[in-house]
Amino acid sequence: MPEAGHANTRVPAGAARAAPRSPLIVLLLALALVLSWRPALAGQECVILLHGLTKDASSMVPLAQRLGEAGFHVVNIGYPSRQKPIQELAATAVDEGLAQCRQAGAAPVNFVTHSMGGLLVRYYFQDRPVSGIDRVVMLAPPNQGSRVGDWLDHIPWIKDVNGPAGRQMGTGDNSLPLQMGPVRFELGVITGDRSLNPFASAILEGPDDGRIRVESAKVEGMCAFYVVPLTHGAIMRDAEVIEQSLRFLWRGYFVGESARDYACGH
């Protein structure tokens, strides 16, 4: 199983005209462009990475590196998480990832997501076929929304910073996670139970990672669940979490004292 053009420049009067580029140099440049696109190896699976709200693709680089070492063709998608609602982000980000997998000839497709990235996958595949999807790992997903989102939605400047998608992740009437049904693909969820945010933890009930409750990461239809002593913002970079994610992509389960298996709903 694991991105030239010419500017028109004015030549000063009396200056010598530059010699034309040799055919050999042109050929070498064209060859470099061709080689920069790397097709998947025969039989190589694809894994699409989707970061969370306020993050970017750089937050998923440790995961990308390890999954690539393990043999996956990795597609690390960046998207404007604070500029559009989840419905629009899902359509563009997931489509882009799937297109890159197809272009590389890598199949089947897997996903590893952090936080809101998991909601993009859930929404995208609500009414689409999942036959081309092998396995999905969600890290700290707000699958049942978060009361922290409800609280932040009442603070104007924070509400605006988090954008339209941030306003959809609470637990009220506008909660998109609570409007979606069970997952229909093979899913493993890893979430944290450590918080460095006493204000958020005072709002949440039970163990939490500073953003979501442990119980809020669960979703109907998941196959496996694993809890680690990490915060919401650190989970995707942790070495153990990365290895557990890799294990689920390979085997379909987690191992460890907190690992739990469920009857997959699909």
- pLDDT at residue 230, rounded to an integer: 98
With CA atoms as reference, report the closest residue to 189 among 163, 229, 226, 239. Answer: 226
Q: Compute the C-alpha angle 101/187/172, nearest 5°.
A: 105
pTM over 0.95: no
pLDDT tens-digit series, residues 208-237: 999 899 999 999 999 999 999 999 999 999
- pLDDT at residue 235, rounded to an integer: 98
pLDDT tens-digit series, residues 18-39: 344 455 654 554 544 333 345 6
pLDDT tens-digit series, residues 130-182: 999 999 999 999 999 987 665 556 556 565 667 889 888 888 888 999 999 99
Instruction: List Cα–Cα distances, 220 to 122, 142, 265, in angstroms.
Output: 11, 13, 7
Q: What order of strands is seen across the sheet that includes strand 260-261?
A: 73-77, 46-50, 109-114, 133-139, 186-192, 224-228, 260-261
Contact (CB, 8 A) for 232 and 211: yes
